[in-house]
Amino acid sequence: MIRVIVCGAYGKMGREVLKAIHNDTQLSIVGAVDVKSDFTDIGDLIGAGKTGIIVGNDLQTVINETKPQVMVDFTRPEVVLNNIRIAMKNGVCPVVGTTGLSDKDREEINDLCIQTKVNALIAPNFSIGAILMTKLSQDAAKYFPHVEIIELHHDQKLDAPSGTALHTAELIAKNRGYLEQGHPAEVEKLPGARGGNFSGIRMHSVRLPGYVAHQEVIFGGLGQTLTIRHDSISRESFMPGVVLACKNVLSANGLVYGLEKLLDK
């Protein structure tokens, strides 16, 4: 059994992760952390009855007490990097779904992997369907270089554009390079109306109650368009990917960025 702790246990994603790991025969929850903890039994959070595993409020203390092999983090952008540092310096492999990490942050994590000889996995999205969307979009860009991305999330999401949208744009840019799109003389009557710009790819973020996580990648060509869309209807959609990551991170090689790197294993 792989010993796992969960950071951000009181959050919506954290509770789903607790439930998924609790129900998996190859994984074992040994601890959980949340800065808002009132020391609740994790069984009370997921409707599983008393487990004897209490949610702590300090990551280092929980690591010391539980000796985990893997840490799953769905917390906040301003705290995730420090959580990763603590985990890796204690020999714990982080599996990170919190978005907002910069390129500089990822460079630091890669350096930590080398220094500590501890693996790490960061995934902008853990939904298998979303991963397929990004891979298909990368392939489509060879034939349809003109593309825009619309991502739609719940109104409590803190970062925009989403990590998935940025990762999709990165993969597309690898295949088509930089391309200036639209009319060269176009004017934004309202600043930002054309969205963000990544390597010429326009990106648009929608934040409304009722959404979970959704993305459209729209390609335009002569007399035709192609749309690749993925919808996460509930947070359960991310759990098979989280479980897959927990089972594979121990045998990975350093830093793995993107769940797609595990799909063909």
The helix (run of H) or strand (run of E) holding residue 121 is strand 120-122
Distance, CA of 162 to CA of 15 (rounded, Å): 21
Residue with tokens 């995934």: 123
> 30, 29, 28, 50: which is closest to 41 by C-alpha?
50
| Beta sheet of 224-232, edge-to-edge order | 196-198, 201-207, 146-153, 213-221, 224-232
Partners of 225 in the β-ladder: 220
What separation, in Å, do the N-terminal and C-terminal C-alpha atoms of the chain show? 20
Catalytic residue among 19, 22, 146, 153: 153
94: exposed, middle or buried (Cβ count in 10 Å: 0-12, 13-18, 19+) = buried
Catalytic residue among 12, 154, 157, 247: 157
Residues whose CB is less than 8 angstroms from the CB of residue 111 and which lie 6 or more positions away in sequence, other chains included: none
Distance, CA of 32 to CA of 77 (rounded, Å): 18
Distance, CA of 27 to CA of 196 (rounded, Å): 40
Return the percent helix, strand and coil in the chain, to nearest 5.
35, 25, 35
Residue 142 bears catalytic tag? no
Count of CB atoms situated within 10 Å of the CB of 140: 18
Residue 204 bears catalytic tag? no
Catalytic residues: 153, 157
